[in-house]
Amino acid sequence: MSSLIPTWRNCRADIGTYAHERSVQMFLDDVAIPSIKRIDERIAENARSEEAFALFEASDLQDLRTETLKAFCLSLQSMFETQIRSYLCGCAEELEPHQPNMIRKLQRDPWGDVKDHFLRLRKVPFSNFSRHRDLDLLHELGSYCRHGEGTASHKIRTDFVDFCVHVPAAPPLFPDSTGEPERYDIVVDIQDLERFTAAIVAFWSEAEWIYNNSISRKGDSLIRELKKREEELRSRTLAKGNNAAKFGN
For the chain, domain boundaries: 12-167+184-214, 219-249
pLDDT of residue 172: 79
Tens digit of each residue's pLDDT (9 = 90 or more) over 25-54 = 999 999 999 999 999 999 998 888 878 777
CB of 117 closer than 8 Å to CB of 102: yes
pTM score over 0.85 = yes
Q: What is the pLDDT along the chain (249 residues), one digit of tens a residue?
A: 667 899 999 999 999 898 999 999 999 999 999 999 999 999 998 888 878 777 778 889 999 999 999 999 999 999 999 999 999 999 999 999 998 899 999 999 999 999 999 999 999 999 999 999 999 999 999 999 999 999 999 999 999 999 999 888 888 777 777 778 888 999 999 999 999 999 999 999 999 999 999 999 999 999 999 999 999 888 877 766 655 555 555
Q: Cα–Cα distance between 131 and 133 in angstroms, integer? A: 6
Q: What angle do CA 18, 117, 160 make, to 5 degrees?
A: 80
Q: What angle do CA 9, 217, 208 make, to 5 degrees?
A: 50
Kindly state the DSSP code that residue 163 receives in the 8-state scheme.
G
pLDDT of residue 100: 83
Exposed/middle/buried for residue 12 (C-beta within 10 Å: 0-12, 13-18, 19+)? exposed
pLDDT of residue 88: 97
